[in-house]
Amino acid sequence: MKLYYFPHACSLAPHIVLRELALPFELVRVDNQTKTTADGEDFLPLNPKGYVAALQLDDGQVLTESSAILQYLADLKPTANLAPANGSWERVRLQEWLNFIATEVHGGLAVFFNSAIQGELKASFLAKLFKRFALLVQTLERQDYLLDTGYSVADAYLFVVLRWAAFHAIDLHDWPALEAFQQRIGERQAVIAALAAENP
């Protein structure tokens, strides 16, 4: 498998999970501006959406969108328990969290990468984001992970997008449960290894 990534992007989540599962894979860096890979390949034919993550399987098929990639990877090694079994109520809860992270947290933080978002508009986006943080806190104050069954691919995804808060001068110290979550996930060996590989 090949994982197409860009440092600090959401592609870090499947990168972490690949390492959690000890699956063989190749990392291929994509330039977000030129849409070319480190070896000069045009990324757009592979993923016309133009952004990472993209996972190319050994048979050439390409899977995009982090939430889908994360579940696909977890299902390759179900005994690792990074996702509840397909068809179970717990799996639906995982999908609920993955969708919330993608639309409300990922989207809520990514908007600030647009430098045109300033003033009242920025304040409005921040207020909405902080309401989403409050919802996360409700869960993470009572348990270590998003699912009560333990660490899952949703935690890896949340860890990655919450890292973006620092890029936008949002101090997670104001949400102790989120700060503790980030520290807890950041101590996992797969996370340490993925970060080191992407930022040598």
What confidence tens digit (pLDDT) does each residue in 4-13 have? 999 999 999 9
Bridge partners, 187 (sequence order): none
Q: What is the mean pLDDT of residues 149-171?
A: 97
Q: What is the mean pLDDT of residues 116-127?
A: 93
Contact of 136 with 178, CB cutoff 8 Å: yes
Q: What is the mean pLDDT of residues 138-149?
A: 97
Encoding tokens for residue 63?
A: 């899977």
- Give Cβ neighbours of residue 45 (< 8 Å, ≥ 6 apart): none
Of 148, 67, 147, nearest to 106 by C-alpha is 67
- Of the CATH numbers 3.30.2310.20, 1.10.340.30, 3.30.750.24, 1.20.1050.10, which one belongs to the domain with range 89-188? 1.20.1050.10
Give ranges for CATH 1.20.1050.10 in the chain.
89-188
- Residue 15: pLDDT over 90: yes
- Residue 180: pLDDT over 80: yes
pLDDT for 200:
73
pLDDT for 199:
87
The model carries a pTM of 0.96
- Residue 3: pLDDT over 80: yes
**Mean pLDDT estimate for the chain:** 96
Topology of domain 2-80+190-198 in CATH is Glutaredoxin (3.40.30)
Question: In whole angstroms, what is the distance from residue 22 CA to residue 129 CA?
Answer: 34
What confidence tens digit (pLDDT) does each residue in 65-116 have? 999 999 999 999 999 999 999 999 999 999 999 999 999 999 999 999 988 9
Of 20, 24, 18, 29, nearest to 198 by C-alpha is 29
Give ranges for CATH 3.40.30.10 in the chain.
2-80+190-198
Under the banding of pLDDT at 50, 70 and 90, the label for residue 132 is very high
Contact of 61 with 54, CB cutoff 8 Å: no
Under the banding of pLDDT at 50, 70 and 90, the label for residue 191 is very high
- Residue 124: pLDDT over 80: yes
Encoding tokens for residue 136?
A: 């996360």
